[in-house]
Amino acid sequence: MSQPIVFMFSGQGSQYYHMGKELFAHNAVFRQKMLDLDDFAASRFGVSVLKEIYHTANRLSDPFDRLLFSHPAIFMAEYALAYALEQKGIRPDCVIGASLGEYAAAAVSGVLSPEDALDCVLEQAEIITETCRNGSMLAVLGNPKLYQDDPLLHENSELAAVNYQSHFVISGERGHIRKIIDDLREKQIPHQLLPVSYGFHSAMVDQAEHPYKRFLARKSIRTPFIPFISSATGEAETDIQADFFWNVVRKPIRFREALQVAESREKGLYIDAGPSGTLAAFAKQILPAGSAERIRTIMTPFHKEQTHLQQIEDIILSSPGRRL
């Protein structure tokens, strides 16, 4: 039996300017899908997201944190990559979404049409921008037990995600997060401020709940035709209700549990379809030693997408029982 393929989709914090640039330049299917999605976004939004992603004035190192652009940009790049893979015959047997990546996972698995998924992403960005105060998200390289043990952390932030045994993310008000950064720096605990302007997965986004749920209630949501494992629940989802897409914004991210569900079914080939290889890096920390060869990234800030894509094709061609 051939090795099952799992597509993984990451969320806010994985984006950067010029993501997918090599694919956009050299992969006609990826480029056309990005253009199609950009046309849809522009018809609703009034401006081109692609021009923001690939504008020559924007440097790779510049923070890409304006939600009205970064939100759709992440979805567009992820869905376009998944579509390009499928056109090559590399089709998922399962998808895992994490945070904003749940929308790309939903589109690939058939829960939402690509247009409806992008519409939800755009609406979410607009509602959060209009209703929520700015906030911050901070990744901490340390035992998650630190969150409960340190009053400065658990009294001034919310636990947004536990990604593996030595990596967690907190979310909260900017002033509080700055104090936490100062404390972590003094204690020499590694940390990284994410390129995010809002406190997702915390009470910082609660003002968006009712207007967003009213919008979601108008969407047509279907049963997935590809198994869909959610990091909002850490489970495989079959009967998805509209409120689910609010929960992926508000609830803590449970990627570790989602990955373990996929792995418990059968050891698969994990393809990170996100911009940065974030989930691939997490998966290498979660899965047993010796699993690294089963975890693959395509898009990275170093623009080696074509090479990575060819490597995945070669792996699948050599897999017994599977041909492109």
For residue 324, the model assigns a pLDDT of 56
- For 139-179, what is each residue's pLDDT tens digit? 999 999 999 999 999 999 999 999 999 999 999 999 999 99
- Of the listed 10, 14, 70, 99, which one is catalytic? 99
Full-model pTM: 0.95
For residue 163, the model assigns a pLDDT of 93
Mean pLDDT of 261-277: 93
- For 18-52, what is each residue's pLDDT tens digit? 999 999 999 999 999 999 999 999 998 888 999 99
Give yes or no for residue 1 having a pLDDT over 60. no
- For 101-152, what is each residue's pLDDT tens digit? 999 999 999 999 999 999 999 999 999 999 999 999 999 999 999 999 999 9
Q: Which domains does the chain have, with CATH numbers?
A: 5-129+202-317 (3.40.366.10), 136-193 (3.30.70.250)
99: annotated active-site residue? yes
For residue 267, the model assigns a pLDDT of 87
For residue 137, the model assigns a pLDDT of 96
Measured CA to CA, the distance from residue 141 to residue 313 in angstroms comes to 33
Angle at 287 between CA 284 and CA 292, to 5 degrees: 45
Residue 95: strand, helix, or coil: strand
Give yes or no for residue 319 having a pLDDT over 80. no
Give every CB contact of residue 219 below 8 A, 6+ residues apart in sequence: 112, 116, 119, 120, 242, 245
For residue 220, the model assigns a pLDDT of 92
